[in-house]
A and B are shown apart, each in its own frame.
Chain A
Amino acid sequence: MNIPSVVAQLVFFLVALLTLISGFLTVTFRNVFHAGLALVGTFFGVAALYLMLEAEFLAVVQVLIYIGAIAVLILFAIMLTRGLMQSETSNINKQWAWAALAIAVLFLGMFLIILQVPWVHSGGAIYRDIVPFLGTQLLTTYLLPFEVVSVLLLAALVGAFIIARE
């Protein structure tokens, strides 16, 4: 028996369990604030998955942006629109049964396709720090998207300001 393999799979299942359970809680919690906290748990799980895929930089970015910024943004929005977190009424709309059915079919389809396709495992080894290479590629191959991102952020910011200000 190969011990590292068993450990890796065990860790993977724990992380996957954390991700899926907190993802499920995100869409089922009645209280929106609780749903937001469950969302943070999901983000952590996804960050751990990135780590297992050796994308350390992305894992750190996941924590920094998704948890540190986007989740905080969502929590701010929840606080600003509080007072109508009706806990007595249902938080699920009328079409939920149909949605669940369609999604179950979708998942089954994706599951079967994933099992059918002969995926290649041709990933090379990562033997050194890859972040400097990421920086280099951002400045050469992906220069245009890199600069366009700043325009996108500017547009989003101005748009959000105009919509949100009093």
Chain B
Amino acid sequence: MDIWSFITNPFVSISQLINNVITSILTSLGVPADITRIVVFLIMAIITITILLLLAPGMMMYMTWLERKLVARMQDRLGPNRVGPFGLLQPIADMIKFLTKEDIVPEGVDGPVHLLAPIVVVIPVILSFAVIQFGVGLGAVDLNLALLYLVALGSVATIGVFMAGFGSHNKFALIGGMRAAAQIISYEIPQVLALSIPVLLAGSISLTGIVQAQSGLFGLGWFIFYIPVGPIAFLVYLIAATAEVNRVPFDLPEAESELVAGYHTEYSGMKFGLFYLAEFLNTFLISAIAATVFFGGWQGPFVAQVPVLGIVYFFGKTILLITVQLWFRGTLPRIRVDQLMNFGWKRLVPISLALVLFTAATLWAYRFVMLALKSLGG
């Protein structure tokens, strides 16, 4: 292995190195080939999973920091600045606080359902991390149905919200849970239809396939530049996805002024922490998916020569999109329930349906013209 390829693609090289070292050690010990394969697979799996499971809460913690800092600046405040330089240790202090808070379980709750709800909300989000492609060849699993897999996992969260609302034995939680469920299902349709535009353009459901389809124009052939379908699909996706994770301006299920805290009214301590974790990881996931399917993922100039740049591009785009969502939060007022439902069903769904058909018709016309030109030329 030469030095240049190691420097330009360190993570993949290191993983190959570990793979080779373990294989050669086991082979020299006389372990049969198929057992060696399984052991190597298990060790690599454990390393991958550990990295991702450390990355997820790390991202979440610094997203809370970013949110507090940004929103504070927008409101002409300083934000956290006491714990560590620029308040950088604030998330760690928060985590310790979450761990030492008393867990209040009101009487009358449906015990198992109340306990399981935050767990059910977190599991699909963590599982979603398995298919995200963080860089060139840097994803735990490269599924050929990755996008549908993400969508399917996203729809499981509704069950967790129902459980929290039902299990809490509280009217605010019940109403908040029902509202959240209605909102999630209303905005899931435009979200999924908007995601089918990149699938149409790339002809692939796998995230790697979609990213590779955007490699044109010196690494800048992103689907967002496919005017007019790209920008519209991105906007529809961003709005629908923001609504689906109940963030401002669509945070009606947890509207403080009417519903206290919605479906997590009766949650405290670490259980509330898990809901909070899921919300932020969902924001990260939305941004990561949007960056992958509309902004080319790890695609960018010079990625073919220096693959490690892919990680920089991916996280740069993702953090930019996260900032956009935090900016929403800092500036937009909450909308009303009837406006929310009307906007979802009467605007976004027809728009996204028309968009899918328009994209398909355009693709066909493009293909038709290309074929005609080819037959004329040849």
A–B interface present (Cβ within 8 A): yes
> Using Cβ atoms and an 8 Å threshold, which residues of chain A touch B151?
64
Report A's interface with B, CB cutoff 8 A.
Answer: 3-4, 7, 31, 33-34, 37, 40, 56-57, 60-61, 63-64, 67-69, 71-72, 75-76, 79, 129, 131
A63 touching B155, Cβ below 8 Å: yes
Chain B interface residue number, banded: 20 to 34
Is B76 on the interface with A (CB-CB < 8 A)? no
Whole-angstrom distance between the Cβ of B195 and the nearest chain A Cβ: 12
Is B313 on the interface with A (CB-CB < 8 A)? no
8 A–B contacts, CB within 8 A, in A order: A3-B35, A7-B38, A33-B113, A60-B152, A61-B152, A64-B155, A68-B152, A75-B162
What does DSSP make chain A's interface, helix, strand, loop or mixed? Answer: helix
In the bound complex, how far is the Cα of B177 from the Cα of A76, in angstroms?
11
Is B145 on the interface with A (CB-CB < 8 A)? yes
Report B's interface with A, CB cutoff 8 A.
Answer: 34-35, 38, 110, 113, 143-145, 148-149, 151-153, 155-156, 158-159, 162-163, 166, 178, 181, 185, 188, 205-206
In the bound complex, how far is the Cα of B171 from the Cα of A79, in angstroms?
13
> Using Cβ atoms and an 8 Å threshold, which residues of chain A touch B159?
37, 40, 67, 71-72, 75
B158 touching A56, Cβ below 8 Å: no
In the bound complex, how far is the Cα of B37 from the Cα of A7, in angstroms?
14
> Using Cβ atoms and an 8 Å threshold, which residues of chain A touch B158?
68, 72
> Using Cβ atoms and an 8 Å threshold, which residues of chain A touch B162?
72, 75, 79
- CB contact between A72 and one of B34, B148, B166, B185 (< 8 Å): that residue: B185
B113 touching A131, Cβ below 8 Å: no
- CB contact between A64 and one of B110, B152, B181 (< 8 Å): that residue: B152
> Using Cβ atoms and an 8 Å threshold, which residues of chain A touch B34?
3-4
B205 touching A67, Cβ below 8 Å: no
> Using Cβ atoms and an 8 Å threshold, which residues of chain A touch B152?
60-61, 63-64, 67-68
Most chain B CB within 10 A, of A31, A61, A75, A76, is at: A75
In the bound complex, how far is the Cα of B162 from the Cα of A98, in angstroms?
35
A131 touching B178, Cβ below 8 Å: no
- CB contact between A79 and one of B149, B156, B178 (< 8 Å): that residue: B178
Given contacts A3-B34, A72-B162, A79-B178, contact A60 B145 (CB under 8 A): yes
Given contacts A3-B35, A71-B159, A79-B178, contact A64 B185 (CB under 8 A): no
> Using Cβ atoms and an 8 Å threshold, which residues of chain B touch A33?
110, 113, 166
Given contacts A3-B34, A64-B155, A68-B158, contact A56 B181 (CB under 8 A): no
When C-beta atoms are compared, the residue in chain B nearest to A130 turns out to be B144
When C-beta atoms are compared, the residue in chain A nearest to B151 turns out to be A64
Whole-angstrom distance between the Cβ of B37 and the nearest chain A Cβ: 9
A60 touching B155, Cβ below 8 Å: no
> Using Cβ atoms and an 8 Å threshold, which residues of chain A touch B143?
56
When C-beta atoms are compared, the residue in chain A nearest to B174 turns out to be A79
Known: A64-B155, A67-B155, A75-B162. 14 other contacts (CB 8 A): A3-B35, A3-B38, A7-B38, A37-B113, A57-B148, A60-B149, A64-B151, A67-B152, A68-B155, A72-B162, A72-B185, A75-B159, A76-B178, A131-B205
In the bound complex, how far is the Cα of B38 from the Cα of A131, in angstroms?
28
4 shortest interchain CB distances as A-B pairs: A68-B155, A63-B152, A64-B152, A129-B144
When C-beta atoms are compared, the residue in chain B nearest to A72 turns out to be B158
> Using Cβ atoms and an 8 Å threshold, which residues of chain B touch A67?
152, 155-156, 159
When C-beta atoms are compared, the residue in chain B nearest to A68 turns out to be B155
A56 touching B144, Cβ below 8 Å: yes
> Using Cβ atoms and an 8 Å threshold, which residues of chain B touch A131?
144-145, 205
> Using Cβ atoms and an 8 Å threshold, which residues of chain B touch A64?
148, 151-152, 155
